[in-house]
Structure 1
Amino acid sequence: MRLCATAVVSALSLALVTGCGGDGAEDPADTSGKGAAKPAAKVLSTAELNKLVIAKGDVPGYEVGSVEGGIPARSEVKADDAKCDPLLHSLTGIAPGNPAANTSRMATEEKKKDPTDAPTSLDDMADGKFEDALKQSMDLDVTVVTLASYDGDGAEQALKSVSDAVEACAGGFFGEQDGEKGKFTKVAEEKSAGTGDESVAFTVTNDAGEDGAMPLHAEVVRHGSTLATYTTVNIGAGMTKKPYAVPAPVVKAQAAKLK
């Protein structure tokens, strides 16, 4: 599919079926009084971020590992209007702004087995049963988590750029990745999980052509000078119009490692 593939396939290695640190950062809330200068937050290295990002066994019910297909280069991902770039970057697992270091992981929901399920051959499936089975098998939350560390007030400015873009690009935008173009029809702010020092959550609706609209969910959370960006897609839920969101267990597990 167009930029639904552009926005998540490169980051999540999925085909949306549409016709195809150390000790962490200093707590900025910890001041000695009104107007007191805040101590400079520590800028984390990639090695330190690798110790802080979620790992195998950290999120019950999810398999955590490397991002299949990798994260695309920043230069390969751009919106038709530059002010929407922070949204497109977040959706593809690219840390917003200009981080000093970053790293990413993928958390895939484990499929729950239904004891009533029994092996069925394709020949035994009535019309529509195969499609229903396919959608059910794809009803899994897949989330890319990207941690990034920033110099100075870089984390605050990067988060602000995402928040500003949610408002400025509410009517939709066009995007491109490595020559592949696509259209997002709507951007809407959502309630965030409430972790970290400040955050913004949003849903972007992708124009999935004949298969209808496909929502993509994201949340960016600031923990001192570190940003955690979460991008979630659920192909099965999108195809059946079932609501889903950035999974709370993933956000909770990552937030716990950044305290």
Structure 2
Amino acid sequence: MKARTAALGAVTVALVVSAVGCGPSDDAKDGKDAKPAPSGGTSHTASTAPDPAASGSAAPTSSGKVLTRAQLAGVALTTGEVRGYDVTPMQGGDETGTERSESAACRPLVAVINGAPEPAPAATVFRTVMDKSEEGEDDQTVVTEILTSHRQDGAQQLMRGVRDAVRACAGGFRTSSPDGPSTYTEVKQLALPGAGQESVAYQVTGSIEGEKVPLVFQLVRTGSTVVTFYVANFLEPTTPKLPAELVAAQAAKLP
């Protein structure tokens, strides 16, 4: 499964943000290696259109523990856990994107694009996952992972906010930032395989010099932990593929 990205090295959400003409970066806040696992879900909310409602597969249980940053790093995917993929801490600083949504309804989507999902997490870890077989290719599969832990019902709020925003912002939205305004022309829910206890997947279409740039996100929640997967296609206006085996593997590691 190829997520055609014009990836030169480690692609971050920050790169997406700036490449789409959006706000700056949302780089790394991690300090260890570790990476993803599989799916399942109690109250399994699948990311199938049009309404991400419960689907019936055997759902995983959860301790509900709010993980520290070190603990998040410990449940993140590591190289070798999914055959053919290298996993590394995301390169960059601790800064996140600075885009601001012009619409309150679309703010959850912009927060994810910034690499700072809302409500604010208790801890965050960033990883970059790359397909080793495609190394050196312009269309190398590069997936960004953001693992966040949340207090109280923050994880459920995050999922609910994103799901509502996908519906409310189907016609697109605009943002502003110190780098200037940006326009996203479309938001659509995607029918990707569900994972964890709750999952939602969607595509946001941005633009670079008038060319469509599809950005695909999938959020997976188990207990108090949410993993956001991101992949983009900078080469052509077709939906990039998010490798299901990565999502499944990461989801399986969540406590």
TM-score under structure 1 normalisation?
0.71
* Residues 103, 148 of structure 1: 8 Å contact kept: yes
- TM superposition shift of 1:164: 0.7
Count of aligned residue pairs for this structure pair: 212
Structure 2 CA distance for partners of 1:195 and 1:40, relative to 1, 3 Å: closer
Q: CA deviation at 1:147?
A: 1.1
Does 2:100 match 1:78? yes
Comparing 173-182 with 161-170, greater Cα deviation is found at 173-182
Q: 1:93 aligns with which of 115, 122, 139?
A: 115
Q: Deviations over 1:216-241 (max 9, x none)?
A: 00011110111111111233xxx234
Question: Whose radius of gyration is greater, 1 or 2?
Answer: 1
* Superposition deviation, residue 42 in structure 1: 1.6
Q: 2:144 aligns to what?
A: 144
Q: Does 1:59 align with 2:55?
A: no
1:131-189 deviation digits (Å, cap 9, x = unpaired): xxxxx931122211111111111111111000011011111111234434311000000
Residue in 2 that maps onto 1:226: 225
Q: How far off its partner does 1:101 sit?
A: 1.4
Q: Secondary structure at 1:151's aligned position in 2?
A: coil
Query: Are the equivalent residues in 2 in contact too, given 1:176–1:182 (CA < 8 A)?
Result: yes
**Are residues 1:244 and 2:201 paired?**
no
| Cα drift, residue 2 of structure 1 | 7.5
Provide the secondary structure at the position in 1 that maps to 2:25: helix
Give the Cα–Cα distance (whole angstroms) in 2 for the partners of residues 111 and 178 of structure 1: 38
1:108–1:142 contact (8 Å) kept in structure 2: yes
CA offset digits 1:62-85 (Å, max 9, x no partner): 2211212346436x2321113212
The letter of the residue matching 1:247 is P
Out of 97, 103, 122, which is 2:125 matched to? 103
Q: Does residue 253 of the first structure (1) align with residue 252 of the second (2)?
A: no
Find 1:10's aligned residue among 9, 12, 25: 25
Match for residue 213 of structure 1? Answer: 212
How far did residue 256 of structure 1 move?
Answer: 2.0
Structure 2 unaligned spans of 5+: 1-15, 29-33, 35-40, 44-60
8 Å Cα contact 2:17-2:113 kept in structure 1: no
Distance change (3 Å), C-alpha of 1:181 and 1:159: same
Cα distance between partner residues in 2 of 1:141 and 1:88: 23
Separation in 2, partners of 1:64, 1:39: 25
Q: CA RMSD in A?
A: 3.0
Kindly provide the amino acid, as one letter, of the partner of residue 107 in structure 1.
Answer: V
Q: Is the 8 A contact 2:213 2:232 kept in 1?
A: no
Structure 1 match to 2:55: none
Letter of the 2:75 partner, please give it.
L
Aligned to 1:171: 171
Distance 1:89-1:59 versus aligned 2 partners, 3 A rule: farther
Gaps of 5+ in 1: 14-20, 22-26, 30-37, 114-135
Measured at CA, do residues 138 and 176 of structure 1 come closer, stay the same or move farther in structure 2, by a change above 3 Å? farther
Cα distance, 1:12 vs structure 2: 7.3
Q: Which amino acid letter does the alignment assign opposite residue 100 of structure 2?
A: K
Q: Matched residues in 1 for 2:206 and 2:17: separation?
A: 9
User: Pick from 52, 72, 76: which aligns with 1:49?
Assistant: 72
Per-residue deviation at 1:8? 9.1
3-state SS of paired residue (1:175): strand
Amino acid at match of 2:122: A
Percent identity reads: 32
Q: Secondary structure at the match of 2:220?
A: strand
TM-score (norm 2): 0.72
Please tell me whether the aligned partners of residues 213 and 236 of structure 2 are also in contact (alpha carbons under 8 angstroms). Answer: no
- Provide closer, same or farther for how the CA distance between residues 204 and 87 of structure 1 changes in structure 2, counting only shifts above 3 A: same
